[in-house]
Amino acid sequence: MTIASVHPNENFTLTIVTSDGRTGIFDVAPYLHGEAFEPLRDFDNFRKVRSGGYYIEWECDADLSADTIESKWVPAMISPPPSNASSGNGNATTPKPPKHGSPPRTSPRHPKTDCLENSASQILTPDSFFKNFP
């Protein structure tokens, strides 16, 4: 990820825009307890952030890598305009948010390893576990 721009927000978050057009919010507050970030508790110092492309930095020499930001930011949810918005019929629909959770299992089940997926009420002992193996 390459950071194209960074904008400080009053709640000690940063709005990050990447070179590929993605936008997200990164919360710096958890880092403010560290010694290197202590000067950033003063908002006048916090707002003096700049992008170095693969990192952001402040005048006090505190910095964060783009990898750290990308791993913990919250991507902005920008919805495209509804396809029928220009028709003027007033029936525009709101897109549904994506469903979260684990993706469905796509690999075939293996009879030798399915013993690990027994019901919670069954307690596996070494003997009951290994009886399924040759």
The model's pTM is 0.57
Distance CA 94, CA 71 (A): 28
Q: How far apart are CA 20 and CA 94, in angstroms?
A: 25
Q: Does residue 21 or residue 85 have the better pLDDT?
A: 21
What is the predicted pLDDT for the residue at 76?
85
Q: What proportion of the chain, given as a percentage, has pLDDT over 70?
A: 57
Domain 3-75, what fold?
Answer: NE0471 N-terminal domain-like (3.30.2020)
Give the list of residues 6+ apart from residue 100 with CB closer than 8 angstroms, or none: none
Across residues 109-131, what is the average pLDDT? 45
CA of 58: how far to CAs of 63, 93, 98, in Å? 6, 43, 35
CA distance 130 to 30: 46
Q: Is the pLDDT of residue 119 over 80?
A: no
Instruction: pLDDT band for 126, please (50, 70, 90 cuts).
Output: low
The token pair that represents 57 in the structure block: 């930095």
